[in-house]
Chain A
Amino acid sequence: MTRWRAGQRISGSLTTADVARGTIVIVVVLVVQHTLLDDVRVDGAHPDLMLLLPMAAGYAAGPDRGAVFGFFTGLVADLFLPTTFGLSALVGCLLGFATGTATRGLVRSSWWLPSVVAVVATAAGMGAYAILGAVLGDPGMLRTYLVPALAVSTPFAALLAVPVLRFVSWAVPEPGPSHGTPAAGGVR
């Protein structure tokens, strides 16, 4: 039987240590979300830290890893949500890929860039989530819940973008020769 060792490569430049770190990030953020942030309520809505993870992975490690990390983050989030199973996985995958693709060519010297990217990604992710929910037969997600969700989640996304990005950069490094370090320019 084949055994995996820490540091062993699974696919491309992905190692078992990367997978372990990614799992730790998802579990820690899940615990913070459900023990602390779920209770922060404004007009029935609360900040959504889980949606920041695909954005951060795409920003830190590019579209490929952003998509993969976003998919698995969404799948885990879906286990605890009363909405259609798989919806967060689809949105997470697309969000990670889109963020990675859109921010690849950017010069990352501005301290405010991660916050701006987080706000745009959160708004896009929530919009996509609500539209897909409406397509699947729940129009109230778009008509009723989207506006308060955006109003609460986007300011928190701007505030939490940098710490989340640092945490995710540790777990999901950029592939290639600079393995183990964040994307060019890094997180400032």
Chain B
Amino acid sequence: MPRRTRRARRARRGLTVGLLVLASIAIITLDYKGQAHGVISGAKRAAHDAFSPVQRGVDAIVHPVGSFLSGAVHGGDLETQNAKLRREIGALQRETLISQAARNQLRALERLDQLPWVGDIPTVTAQVNALSPSDFAATVQLDKGTTSGVADGMPVVGGAGLVGQVTEVWSSGCTVRLVTDVASSVGVRFGSAGNLALVQGSGLGRDLAVNLVAPGTALHKGEVLTTSGLQNAQYPPDIPVAYVKSFSSTPSATQETVTARPLADLAVLQYVDVLQWSAAP
């Protein structure tokens, strides 16, 4: 190949990649600075709205196909009578499991109905329908969105305490950033003196870090940390967040080293309440 042609091809390739990198950096900058927030969140909402029915449809197809294949493989060599008996037993077992599942669901919903700290704040009960689509964020997706009254920034609580905050919302669902996410921070209050601290996430399944606790502050294991609800707070006051798991202090430290565990069991979330509450402007 002539040297000039090769050089021209290399230059064209450099130009293509350069333009794409520039376009990416421009998009990142616009999102980071919040200048194209409306356009980007609109595009994300539209994508979620378009994709949700496809996801539900594929889910509905994938599960019965799996069951059908499993049934075909295991049922081929059975005698007719045995097959009939097994079907009957299966139906009975299914009924038992369904009623057991229904009882569990009812219990979970009843727990949500009796949350004392919610007070007069209206709530939207939602079901967790997907885990985080990213390996780099601790989030869950709920099945309630703008059509149910859910909005960006609303707090989300579970049976035992704070779960997180809504960070993205579309018509039929929303994304909730869990309190364990490294980008999450919650202002809390604890003890009879009403000490203030900041609870920060350390990743899914890990303990929370409690910062800004002055050395010598009276603390005990199992102490419950509740949202402070201070001015400009992201959460209403008095929602239980976590309990103290360990604390220690070194002589030269400017703060106590405190770890806490979320009160809500984030590993097995099924139903949650979205609080229709927004921070004061």
Q: Which residues of A contact B (CB under 8 A)?
A: 30-31, 33-36, 38-39, 41, 43-46, 48, 63-64, 67-68, 71, 74-76, 79-87, 89-90, 93-94, 97, 126, 129-130, 133, 136, 138-141, 143-146, 148-149, 152-153
Contacts and interface: CB of A to CB of B under 8 A. Distances in A.
Given A31-B54, A35-B58, A86-B28, A79 B130 contact: no
Contact of A68 (B16, B25, B139): B16
Interface stretch (B109-117, B154-162, B200-208, B247-255): B200-208
A85 B28 contact: yes
Contacts of B211: none
A85 B138 contact: no
Counting chain B CB atoms within 10 Å of each CB, the highest count among A48, A80, A141, A148 belongs to A80
B148 interface: no
A48 B250 CA distance: 42
A82 B137 contact: yes
14 contacts: A38-B131, A79-B43, A82-B134, A83-B137, A85-B27, A86-B24, A86-B31, A90-B24, A90-B25, A93-B17, A93-B20, A94-B21, A97-B17, A144-B203
- A-B pairs with lowest CB-CB distance, top 4: A140-B182, A86-B27, A90-B24, A44-B204
Contacts of B43: 79
B168 interface: yes
A143 B97 CA distance: 42
B134 A83 contact: yes
B133 interface: yes
Contact of B135 (A79, A87, A138, A149): A149
A79 B47 contact: yes
Contact of B31 (A84, A133, A149): A84
Given A38-B131, A90-B24, A145-B136, 17 more contacts: A35-B58, A44-B203, A64-B13, A64-B17, A68-B16, A68-B20, A71-B23, A79-B43, A79-B47, A80-B133, A83-B136, A86-B25, A86-B26, A86-B30, A136-B28, A144-B203, A153-B135
A67 B16 contact: yes
Contacts of B138: 44
Counting chain A CB atoms within 10 Å of each CB, the highest count among B20, B23, B25 belongs to B20
A153 B47 CA distance: 25
B68 to A, nearest CB: 17
A74 B131 CA distance: 20
A85 B181 CA distance: 18
Contacts of A126: 135
A84 B205 CA distance: 23
B55 A31 contact: yes
Interface string B136-155: 11110000000000000000
B130 to A, nearest CB: 6
Nearest to B12: A64
A143 B200 CA distance: 14
Given A31-B58, A79-B44, A149-B136, A90 B17 contact: no
Given A34-B55, A35-B59, A64 B204 contact: no
Contacts of B23: 71, 89
Contacts of B51: 30, 34, 80
Interface in B44-97: 44, 47-48, 51, 54-55, 58-59, 62
A152 B134 CA distance: 13
B183 interface: yes
A127 to B, nearest CB: 12
A80 B24 contact: no
A71 B31 contact: no
B140 to A, nearest CB: 10
Contacts of B17: 63-64, 67, 93-94, 97
Given A34-B55, A44-B138, A145 B203 contact: yes
Contacts of B168: 82
Contacts of A35: 55, 58-59, 62
A63 B31 contact: no
Counting chain B CB atoms within 10 Å of each CB, the highest count among A43, A64, A90, A149 belongs to A90
Contacts of B261: none
Contacts of A34: 51, 55, 130, 133
